[in-house]
């Protein structure tokens, strides 16, 4: 009798089965029933995955580094703000492509309560789209359209908690033990108070504490973020099985990049900080294996907003990888520190650490995103220059919100804690660069200066090692939106300052000569085109700090396959000399002119890309 041909699923499962069973058994104490259900669930999502998506997987499997090339450029956007609906986003894909973008990250769009959603991060149903944005069919059609253009789709997967309106939470409130066991329910405050001894507060001003009293259930519930976001109990294998199923459901709608939201928080142990525990890494590794078996074209992007020593472990190891990509949040914060101080020493120090990491560690780089700027800087390093943490944070915030004389930056504080001096900052890239103030004052000189800074920062973004992502609107220099102050739901959250609707009338100005929109759009488009053309920008390139002997000028070197790039960025207010001495004849990538890379003068708020 002929031997039955082994299926693609079975081959993939066989490759990982022993590790998968060992990890699952260690985490869930050898629960065979739960493990067998997990395997059956994986098979179901493979079997129900569309043929077109399986072909997409095969294409990606043949080129596993598809997301690491110099042509990768992302754009982050809110569906409602950018296109109104998912179909509206589809109608604007030509515009997105015109910037050079080939993957879009849609902010949370799954069903959630309008007045208790934290911007969509309190999910009431992981398998339904917020009705005003469209349907799951619309999401699938958008993904298919993107794939036909060789573009990818990223979506948030909120895994630490659900909305209090989620079916599990509703049934838990009614007293069903099976569903209370999916969360953290306590009969009294004894154990919650023990947790509070060691668990930090995420939002001490707007949502103090990590627990609330649920009067309907007559019990205490863990709510690490906001009272309406109930933490899931991943010690319960049913939670992990069902949440992994929800993730794979989204993958089967055509989502290529899964952003694991707040991943460090997902395992709780009494007597710890409940952050970055070893079990978190086991869960992420299992999720990586699950995608490798069901949908190997999928990329896991970890949201770990912490210092580098805590971020890097989420890559896993070369043999046992976890996340494919991680956010480079420290560089983002250090960049705005450098804008405020005009001193590149901290940025050099931080980049030097990042550049020394293995090349397979792929960072997602950005200037601005939907969130605030938190000042989690390397204060041990800054103390060498007599910088004190609390006073320095105040200086940064005062500078970047225009509270100091002569400052043209326009931001607002977020989550201000006067006692700890720990406020964070909000604002669009353009407003933080001074464009808003310059236009208000009708000061052309200041406007030129601010636009130069904006474009220089994007050039710096494109020079970093990893994948650059634009925040929708930054390509036209969109300004702060102060209308949120008039909205009773949004007014208490200053992050809505930079979450305004995309201004399509403003975008039309990108075709008009001399406008701020055209100057920034054309500048970023040119940078993206140059980056895509030269392999020296690949993630596989060697990258290092070039010493400029000038505290205002940052130097970065890149080398790949015979190409060498020297990039210089002047964060100062005056022209500065980069005291470099590189051998060979270089070409200025922006002007095409040849020059020597020796003692170069860099104008204020400007940059130079030299190719050898």
Domains present along the chain, CATH in parentheses: 161-231 (3.90.400.10), 329-355+366-540 (3.20.20.80), 542-611 (2.60.40.1180)
- Whether the Cβ atoms of residue 60 and residue 296 lie closer than 8 Å to each other: yes
Query: How many residues in the chain?
Result: 612
Share of the chain above pLDDT 70, in %: 99
Report pLDDT for 324. Answer: 96
Angstrom distance (rounded) from CA 404 to CA 402: 6
φ, ψ of residue 379 to 5 degrees: the values are -75, -25
* Rounded alpha-carbon distances, angstroms, from residue 393 to 230, 380, 383, 412: 32, 14, 13, 14
Tell me whether residue 131 is exposed, middle or buried, using C-beta atoms within 10 angstroms of its C-beta: 0 to 12, 13 to 18, 19 or more.
exposed
Q: Write the pLDDT tens digit of every residue in 274-306.
A: 999 999 999 999 999 999 999 999 999 999 988
Report pLDDT for 5. Answer: 61
Residue ranges in 342-479 assigned as alpha helix (H): 345-355, 379-382, 389-400, 429-433, 435-441, 444-463
Report pLDDT for 245. Answer: 98
pLDDT at 467 over 50: yes
- Whether the Cβ atoms of residue 300 and residue 322 lie closer than 8 Å to each other: yes
Angstrom distance (rounded) from CA 356 to CA 543: 8
Angstrom distance (rounded) from CA 240 to CA 266: 10
* Rounded alpha-carbon distances, angstroms, from residue 380 to 313, 329, 350, 385: 21, 18, 12, 10
Q: Write the pLDDT tens digit of every residue in 486-520.
A: 999 899 899 999 999 999 999 999 999 999 999 99
| Averaged pLDDT of the chain | 95
pLDDT at 421 over 50: yes
Kindly report which listed range (115-129, 307-321, 532-546) carries the lowest average pLDDT score.
307-321
Share of the chain above pLDDT 90, in %: 93
Report pLDDT for 207. Answer: 87
Tokens representing 588 are 């200025």
DSSP output for 248-286:
HHHHTTT--EEEEETGGGS---TTS-SSS-HHHHHHHHH
- Whether the Cβ atoms of residue 165 and residue 117 lie closer than 8 Å to each other: no
| Residues 6 or more apart in contact with residue 201 via CB below 8 angstroms | 207, 208, 209, 210
Catalytically active residues are 261, 303
- Whether the Cβ atoms of residue 364 and residue 383 lie closer than 8 Å to each other: no
pTM for this model (two decimals): 0.94
Report pLDDT for 4. Answer: 53
CA angle 241, 247, 248 (to 5 degrees): 90
Q: What is the mean pLDDT of residues 94-112?
A: 97
Angstrom distance (rounded) from CA 415 to CA 422: 8
Q: What is the mean pLDDT of residues 521-547?
A: 97
């Amino acid at each position: 009798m002929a031997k039955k041909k082994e299926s693609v699923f079975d081959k993939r499962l066989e490759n990982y089965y022993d590790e998968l069973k060992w990890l699952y058994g260690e985490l869930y104490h050898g629960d065979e029933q739960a493990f067998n259900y997990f395997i059956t669930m994986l098979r179901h999502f493979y079997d129900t995955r569309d043929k077109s998506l399986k072909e997409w997987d095969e294409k990606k499997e043949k080129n596993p580094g598809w997301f690491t090339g110099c042509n990768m450029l992302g754009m982050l956007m809110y569906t409602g703000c950018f296109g109104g609906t998912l179909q509206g986003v589809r109608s604007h894909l030509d515009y997105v492509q015109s910037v050079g973008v080939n993957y879009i990250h849609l902010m949370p769009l799954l069903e959630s309560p309008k007045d208790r959603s934290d911007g969509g991060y309190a999910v009431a149903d992981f398998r339904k789209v917020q009705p005003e944005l469209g349907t799951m069919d619309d999401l699938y059609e958008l993904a298919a359209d993107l794939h036909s253009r060789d573009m990818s789709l990223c979506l948030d997967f909120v895994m630490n908690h659900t909305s209090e309106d989620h079916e599990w939470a509703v049934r838990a409130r009614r007293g069903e033990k099976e569903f209370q066991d999916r969360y953290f329910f306590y009969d009294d405050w004894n154990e919650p108070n023990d947790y509070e001894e060691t668990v930090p507060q995420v939002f001490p001003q707007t949502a103090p504490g990590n627990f609330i009293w649920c009067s309907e259930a007559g019990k205490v519930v863990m709510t690490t973020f906001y009272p309406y976001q109930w933490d899931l109990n991943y010690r319960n294998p049913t939670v992990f099985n069902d949440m992994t199923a929800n993730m794979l459901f989204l993958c089967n709608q055509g989502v290529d990049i899964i952003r694991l939201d707040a991943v460090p928080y997902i395992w709780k142990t009494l007597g710890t900080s409940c952050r970055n525990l070893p079990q978190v890494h086991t869960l992420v590794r299992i999720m990586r294996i699950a995608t490798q078996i069901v949908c190997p074209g999928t990329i896991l992007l970890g949201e770990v907003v912490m210092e580098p020593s805590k971020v890097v472990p989420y890559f896993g190891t070369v043999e046992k990888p976890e996340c494919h990509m991680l956010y480079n949040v420290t560089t983002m914060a250090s960049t705005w520190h450098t804008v405020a101080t005009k001193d590149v020493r901290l940025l050099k120090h931080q980049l030097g650490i990042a550049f020394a990491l293995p090349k397979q560690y792929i960072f997602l780089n950005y200037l601005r995103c939907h969130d605030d700027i938190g000042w989690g800087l390397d204060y041990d390093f800054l103390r060498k220059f007599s910088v004190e943490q609390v006073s320095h944070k105040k200086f940064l915030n005062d500078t970047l919100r225009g509270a100091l004389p002569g400052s043209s930056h326009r931001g607002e504080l977020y989550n201000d804690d006067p006692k700890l001096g720990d406020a964070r900052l909000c604002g669009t890239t353009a407003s933080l660069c001074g464009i808003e103030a310059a236009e208000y004052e009708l000061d052309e000189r200041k406007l030129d200066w601010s636009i130069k800074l904006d474009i220089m920062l994007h050039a710096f973004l494109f020079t970093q090692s990893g994948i650059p992502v634009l925040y929708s609107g930054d390509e036209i220099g969109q300004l702060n939106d102060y209308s949120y102050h008039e909205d009773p739901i949004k007014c208490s959250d200053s992050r809505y300052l930079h979450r305004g609707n995309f201004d399509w009338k403003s975008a039309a100005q990108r075709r008009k000569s001399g406008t701020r929109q055209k100057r920034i759009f054309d500048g970023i488009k040119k940078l993206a085109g140059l980056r895509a053309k030269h392999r020296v920008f690949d993630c596989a390139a060697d990258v290092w700090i070039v010493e400029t002997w000038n505290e205002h000028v940052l130097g970065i070197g890149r080398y790949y396959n015979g190409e060498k790039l020297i990039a210089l960025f002047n964060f100062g207010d005056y022209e500065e000399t980069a005291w470099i001495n590189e051998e060979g004849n270089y070409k200025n990538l922006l002007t095409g002119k040849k020059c020597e890379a020796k003692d170069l003068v860099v104008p204020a708020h400007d940059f130079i890309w030299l190719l050898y």
